[in-house]
Structure 1
Amino acid sequence: MTRRYWNINLEEMMEARVHFGHGIRKWNPRMSPYISAKCKGMHIINLTRTARFLSEACDLVFDAASRGKQFLIVGTKNIAADSVAWAAIRARCHYVNKKWLGGMLTNWSTTETRLHKFRDLRMEQKAGRLARLPKRDAAVVKRQFSHLQTYLGGIKYMTEVPDIVIIIDQQKEYKALRECITLGIPTICLIDTNCDPDLADISIPANDDAISSIRLILTKLVFAICEGRSSYVRNP
């Protein structure tokens, strides 16, 4: 895998509050190599390590995108949801930003059935058929459609399990991470000081409680994916 320059600098990360970890009582000892100091009862993340692993992640997604691989971005906590949707739409990735449904990947046949149902309902809605249903039936179908839109809207075009999964907040998305591990899907995970850095293929130590931090990490990854996709289009 060729190493490239992704314009990752420490000043920008400090401004985005990437270096702020959790309180010193709430930490995973395995994160010790990624912590540079303690300040006011809080662990400070070593941004040199963050820059290194973020650069490695950018190299990975660039190479994958340049070969036409598909990505899934997962981040369901409130402060991450909008950034996840923005990043996925910009980089033409699939995403889950509301709730991870158990078995979404490991029980792909069930997920695929739900997606087919969702697509059928979307087509019926666009064709105006739902408006012609009896009032009670229409209400039931609309509730079902709304439910599917909320939880599957970000993966409505996904036809198979993704090639790489990007996870925001290992603790919150542990179920998704375990499914990826079970299936052998490579993962890139944003990890705070309370996480286990050994679970993901590439773990990026960073503040997972600040919108600015999450946005910065996603922005770098999105840029790398877009660059890779451009390379794929030029050299199919």
Structure 2
Amino acid sequence: MITTDWHEELRALTKAGAHYGHPTSRWNPKMHPYIFRQKKGIHVIDLVQTVRLLSEACQFLTVAASKGKQFLWIGTKKQASKAVMEHAKNAKCHFVNKKWLGGMLTNWPTVRRRIWKLQGLEARERNGYMELLPKKEASMKRKQLARLRKYLGGMRHMTRLPDVVVLIGQKEEITALQECAKLGIPTVCIVDTDCNPDLAYIPIPANDDSTASIGCISERLAGAIRRGYFLRNGKRNRLQAKMKHNKDPLVEVAI
């Protein structure tokens, strides 16, 4: 996490409204351990549990990133779309923030071919090939490119299935969550009071309908991933420096 001070984290999450749950009539009983109380017909999330699990999730992501793992962020609802794109890019991760197309993970070979198609069309656009086509054909190619960018643009550099998936909005991304479960991909997921925490590898109980709440938690998750990559790069640089320092000059001359 960006800071290890629990009091600061509690203040930040409270300010972001992360403790506001859904009406008591819409709750999932499995969220009971993460609910602090009811107030005016609304469940209030226990932010102490949120901070604990957020810290656990950040530690997990940092370790995974330090080992060179690949991450995919998923969040397609309006409140999450912008935050998912921004924080995934900042952490150098893949993302889907417009619409989850069924089979994007379980039918990966087909999706990979569509990504190749996207890359090919983008290359043609860059080298001016589109300008040489008849007007009607060029228009069709541009529409196809726009559609592929919309749904697969955040995955254009993905060459294999992700090692870890970060999900924002369990209800909306249930299909993606089921695909992760089928493939054994661990998930870090924000779960509101109407969600099932058992479906996520690490659930983070919090308000998943508030832009501020989503942004606050996403910032910390992205920071944990960046820290892991920084540790990995630092370790690699130290190893290269050590190898260079210990290089046998006689061997170098012989080569």
Q: Which residue of 2 aligns with 1:157?
A: 157
For 2:118 and 2:23, the matched residues in 1 are separated by 43
The structure carrying a bigger helix percent of its residues is 2
What is the CA-CA distance between 1:61 and the residue it aligns to? 0.3
TM-score computed with the length of structure 1 as normaliser: 0.97
Q: Which residue of 2 aligns with 1:18?
A: 18
Per-residue CA deviation, residues 84-133 of structure 1 (Å, 9 max, x unaligned), is 00001100000000000110000000000000000000000000101110
What is the CA-CA distance between 1:6 and the residue it aligns to? 3.7
Question: Is the Cα contact below 8 Å between 2:2 and 2:224 reproduced in 1?
Answer: no
Question: Is the Cα contact below 8 Å between 2:118 and 2:148 reproduced in 1?
Answer: yes
Question: Is the Cα contact below 8 Å between 1:6 and 1:58 reproduced in 2?
Answer: no
What is the CA-CA distance between 1:7 and the residue it aligns to? 4.2
What is the CA-CA distance between 1:134 and the residue it aligns to? 0.2
For 1:30 and 1:22, the matched residues in 2 are separated by 14
TM-score computed with the length of structure 2 as normaliser: 0.90
Q: Which residue of 1 aligns with 2:191?
A: 191
Question: Is the Cα contact below 8 Å between 1:162 and 1:185 reproduced in 2?
Answer: yes
Question: Is the Cα contact below 8 Å between 2:2 and 2:220 reproduced in 1?
Answer: no
Question: Is the Cα contact below 8 Å between 1:4 and 1:59 reproduced in 2?
Answer: no
SS at the partner of 2:167?
A: strand
For 1:32 and 1:60, the matched residues in 2 are separated by 24
Question: Is the Cα contact below 8 Å between 1:73 and 1:93 reproduced in 2?
Answer: yes
What is the CA-CA distance between 1:187 and the residue it aligns to? 0.4
For 1:20 and 1:147, the matched residues in 2 are separated by 36
Q: Which residue of 2 aligns with 1:180?
A: 180
Runs of 5+ consecutive residues of structure 1 not aligned to the other structure: none
What is the CA-CA distance between 1:40 and the residue it aligns to? 1.4
Q: Which residue of 1 aligns with 2:111?
A: 111
For 2:171 and 2:131, the matched residues in 1 are separated by 43
Larger radius of gyration: 2
SS at the partner of 1:60?
A: helix
What is the CA-CA distance between 1:4 and the residue it aligns to? 10
For 1:210 and 1:200, the matched residues in 2 are separated by 20
SS at the partner of 1:43?
A: strand
Name the aligned partner's letter for residue 67 of structure 1: K
Name the aligned partner's letter for residue 112 of structure 2: E
SS at the partner of 2:116?
A: helix
Superposition CA RMSD, Å: 1.2
Q: Which residue of 2 aligns with 1:38?
A: 38
Q: Which residue of 2 aligns with 1:65?
A: 65
What is the CA-CA distance between 1:41 and the residue it aligns to? 1.2
Q: Which residue of 1 aligns with 2:51?
A: 51
For 2:178 and 2:120, the matched residues in 1 are separated by 30
For 1:6 and 1:204, the matched residues in 2 are separated by 17
Q: Which residue of 2 aligns with 1:91?
A: 91
Q: Which residue of 2 aligns with 1:232?
A: 232
Name the aligned partner's letter for residue 69 of structure 1: K
Change (3 A) 1:134 1:4: closer
Q: Which residue of 2 aligns with 1:122?
A: 122
Change (3 A) 1:123 1:4: closer
Aligned residues: 234
